Amino acid sequence: MLSVELGLDDFSASNGWLDRFQKRHNISCSVLSGEGASVNEEMVNDWCSRLESMCEGYSLKDIFNANETGLFNRALPTRSQVIRSDKCHRGKNSKERITVLLGCSAMGKKHTPLVISRAANPRCFRGNSTSSLPVTYQANKRAWMTSTIFKDWLQKLNNKMTLEKRKIIMFVDNCAAHPAMTLSNVKLVFLPPNTTARLQPCDGGIIKAVISTYRKKPLCHILLKMNEASTAADLAGKGTVLDAISWLKYAWDCVQAETIQKCFAHCGFIFATAPTASADATETAPAELLLLLQGSSWADFIECDNEVTATTEVFGVVETAPEVEEETKTLTASHISARQTLTLKK
């Protein structure tokens, strides 16, 4: 103890003194959590040593990865701290979030996003059929990925590959919402448990790049229409699933093929692309948007979805909706909640 070494036996620091001391010396207290904290290095190394042989016979354009992420489509900086500290299990806050499945190849070819919301036909869709949307749209009571939805998505992908006379290999994480399937033109390969933080390209920076771009769109929307409401929360509350889909499609289109290639290389697919130093393609926000965060970091805001449950849970679920099955996958990240309370100007 520093105080003991200085001979100050009765020293007692106030919370304010300790806070200023930590800021002055750039000290932070982090709790290792999520998959990244429990990765088995031996398992990772073994997987990487076998990865090239698993992909033997497949060209770079035929090596794919897909993964879900929860997305708070109405998130505001004022609510980011609460959301990040609450893991949003069993549907809490589910009215304000959607689930997104993103898939892409090692060459950077992107699949149409799959969006799962709560309503099969929201009011904002009036006059538009789901087939006209720029995404594949599904719905269930909790806006979660289920094995039924995943199998349907994978079967349609297999049909597409059959028409194109292509055979692909698809890497996905090992969870109950991803059942084993034997298909004619899609070979499904499961990543080892508790390793996706290290081995899955979508978790290696692709999803983060999408969320970073997405987060700018609702904030810009608020700035443009501030005169139409008394508070930013009022404007955010008027955001629809259709808005979220439009912003998500824009964010997905903004992800460059080079970014995807770097993420594949970063996760062990070195044979697929030239080695790169970093897979982080997170964009920074314009100065006018950073002002809305009042000193809190952009990273804190874009990571508010990291603890969102995106698939149905195995244990302790009481579910009456027939389309929601008992299966689970919790998206986690090894980031702790922001220390500052994120606030937004009215």
pLDDT score recorded for residue 304 = 54
pLDDT score recorded for residue 75 = 67
State the pTM of this model. Answer: 0.69
Residue 291 CA to its chain's centroid (Å): 25
pLDDT score recorded for residue 153 = 97
186 token code pair = 């899609």
Q: What is the 3-state secondary structure (H, E, C) of the chain?
A: CHHHHCCCCCCCCCHHHHHHHHHHCCCCCCCCCCHHHCCCHHHHHHHHHHHHHHCCCCCHHHEEEEEEEEEECCCCHHHHHHHHHCCCHHHCCHHHEEEEEEEEECCCCECCCEEEECCCCCHHHCCCCHHHCCCEEEECCCCCECHHHHHHHHHHHHHHHHHCCCCEEEEECCCCCCCCCCCCCEEEEECCCCCHHHHCHHHHCHHHHHHHHHHHHHHHHHHHCHHHCCCHHHHHHCCCHHHHHHHHHHHHHHCCHHHHHHHHHHCCCCCCCCCCCCCCCCCCCCHHHHHHHCCCCHHHHHCCCCCCEEECCCCCCCCCCCCCCCCCEECCCCCCCCCCCCCCCC
339 token code pair = 């220390």
What angle, 0 to 180 degrees and rounded to 10, lies between the N-to-C axes of helices 257-266 and 206-224? 140
pLDDT score recorded for residue 26 = 66
271 token code pair = 């044979």
Write out residues in the chain with pLDDT < 70, as ranges: 1-11, 26-38, 75-95, 225-237, 271-346
pLDDT score recorded for residue 281 = 53
Residue 185 CA to its chain's centroid (Å): 27
